[in-house]
Amino acid sequence: MNYKSTTTKSNLKSRPHNGRPSLPEKERQSIVRHTRYNAAEDSVLLANVSKAGLKNVSEYIRQVSLNPHIVPRLSETEMAIARKLSGMSNNFNQLLRLCHQRGLDAMSREVEYYLGRFRELFAKFNND
């Protein structure tokens, strides 16, 4: 008589697990909340998601509901202004170094030019 063993081995348990590891119980997001939007609200929602620079709508809704103060990332025009300010600040530092070497009277025209440019860019940045 051939008796089958009551304990059978499964090949699944002995193989290494592939894929994403399981999250700890505290980090799992298991509760789902459903919301409904009309077409206009959905387009506003999607625009806000892209403006905030978040991964997806769920992440945006989670952030807005749990942390109501979300600062959106800089727009392309704001990034361009920030790059210009960074370049101009480097130039201004070099100009100040020259002023210390040559004296302020010799460099006054260039100093006035860069101060005017700084004021223009700060005015644009504050108006946006």
What are the DSSP calls for 63-114, one per residue?
A: HHHH----PPPP-HHHHHHHHHHHHHHHHHHHHHHHHHHH-HHHHHHHHHHH
Confidence of residue 93 (pLDDT cuts 50, 70, 90): confident
pTM of the model: 0.40
**Longest C-alpha distance within the chain, in Å?**
111
pLDDT per residue as tens digits for the range 36-63: 999 999 999 999 898 888 888 988 888 8
- What's the rounded Cα separation, in Å, for the pair 114 and 91? 9
In this structure, are residues 81 and 121 in contact, taking their beta carbons and an 8 Å threshold?
yes
Check whether 15 has a pLDDT greater than 70: no
pLDDT value for 38 = 95
Check whether 116 has a pLDDT greater than 70: yes
- What's the rounded Cα separation, in Å, for the pair 98 and 101? 5
pLDDT value for 128 = 57
